[in-house]
Amino acid sequence: MSTTLRSEARGGFAACALALGLAVAPAWGATEPGLEARFAQASAALEAGDFARAIVELEALADRGEVHPELSFDRGLAYWMRARSPSALPGDLGRAAAGFEEAALLRPSDAEARELAEFVRAEVRARRQRSDKDDPIVRATLDRALLGLASPLAWSLLAFGASLLFALGLVLRRASELRWRVGGSVALSVGAISLLGLTPLAVGATWLEAHRRAAVVVATEVALRGEDGALVEAPVLPEGTLVELGEQHGELVELRWGPYEGRAPWSSLRVLARGAEPAPRAPTPGR
C-alpha cells in the first residue's frame, strides 16, 4: 500500500514538473536574442572575415526554424569563405551552393543568389577537373521541364479554365441557333483537348509540390544506390548538385537527378527551406 502511494506521489510530482517546464519554456525562449539581433551578429562576423562564428550563428538560426532569404544567402557565403580557407571541410562548397539555392528559392527575384550558386558549382567543376574527374551534363527530364514552366496553382487554374470551356461547349451545343451550336462544338473540342492535356500537368505539379523537396549535395560526391543497396548505373553526383528529394527510408532518402533515380544517405544532402517551412534536417544516425 505504501509503495503504491509513493509511486502515485512520484507520478504526480513528475506531472507537476512537466507542467511547470512547459509553462516556463516560452519565457526562456523569449530571453534569447531575436532574429534580427542574431542575424546582425552573424553578418558582422562575416564582414570581419570570421566565417566560423557566422556559420555557428546562422546554423543556430536555421535550427530554430528561422527561414529568411538573407539568412540563407549569408550562410552560403560563410561556407564559401570557409571552402577557400585552410580550414575548409569537405562539403563546404555544397553547403554554400545550398545556401544560395535556398535564398533564390525563398525569393525568386534574387538573381544574385542564383548566379552565385552557379559560380559555386563552376568552382566545384574546376576542382574536379583538376582531379581528372569529368562530370556529365545532366538535364531535367521532359516531364519535370514541363511542370516547371508554371506553378501548381497556375496549372490548376488553366485546367479549371479548360473545364469551364468544356462545360460551356456542352451548353451551347444545345442552343437553337446554328452559330451558337457551332461555337459550342468548337468550345467543346478545345475544352476537351485542353482538359486532357492540362489535368495531368495540374495533378502532377500539385503532387510534386506536396511530396517532393529540393536538396543540394553537400558531400564531395554521392553515388546512387537502388533498393537492394547495389549501385545504380548512374554517374556520381558532384558536390553542389541540386536534386529532387523523395521518400525517406531510414538513413537513406530517395532522390532524383535528371533521369536518374536512387537512394543516398540523408547526411550527404541538405534540404532547402521552402516558403515559411523550415528545412527538415537529416535524422541522427543510430536513432
CB nearer another protein, residue 13 or residue 207: 207
Return the half-sphere exposure (C-beta side, CA atoms, 13 A cut-off) of residue 51: 18
Q: How far is the CB of 126 from another protein (least distance, A)?
A: 3
Q: How far is the CB of 106 from another protein (least distance, A)?
A: 4
Residue from the set 135, 209, 254, 261 that interacts with another protein by CB under 8 A? 209
Task: Return the C-alpha cell found at 114.
Answer: 542564383
Please count the residues of this chain forming the interface with another protein, following the rule CB under 8 A. 63
CB nearer another protein, residue 163 or residue 248: 163
Q: What is the CA radius of gyration of the chain?
A: 26
Write the binding mask 68 to 107 for another protein: x where contact by CB under 8 A, - elsewhere.
xxxx-xx--xx-xx--x---------------------xx
State which amino acid sits at residue 219: A
Give Cβ neighbours of residue 136 (< 8 Å, ≥ 6 apart): 235
In order, the DSSP letters of 118-163 are HHHHHHHHHHHHHTT---------HHHHHHTTS-HHHHHHHHHHHH
CB nearer another protein, residue 116 or residue 271: 116
Residue 67 engages another protein in binding (rule: CB under 8 A): yes
Give Cβ neighbours of residue 254 (< 8 Å, ≥ 6 apart): 245, 246, 247, 248, 261, 262, 263
Residue 149 engages another protein in binding (rule: CB under 8 A): no
Distance between CA atoms of 149 and 228, rounded to whole angstroms?
35
Distance between CA atoms of 92 and 89, rounded to whole angstroms?
6
Q: How far is the CB of 284 from another protein (least distance, A)?
A: 27
Calculated CA dihedral for residues 246, 234, 121, 125, nearest 10 degrees: 170
Residue from the set 44, 182, 186, 193 that interacts with another protein by CB under 8 A? 44
Binding site for another protein (CB under 8 A): 35-36, 39-40, 43-44, 46-47, 54, 67-71, 73-74, 77-78, 80-81, 84, 106-108, 112, 115-116, 118-119, 122-123, 125-127, 129, 151-153, 156, 159-160, 163-164, 166-168, 170-171, 174, 195, 199, 202-203, 205-207, 209-210, 273-277
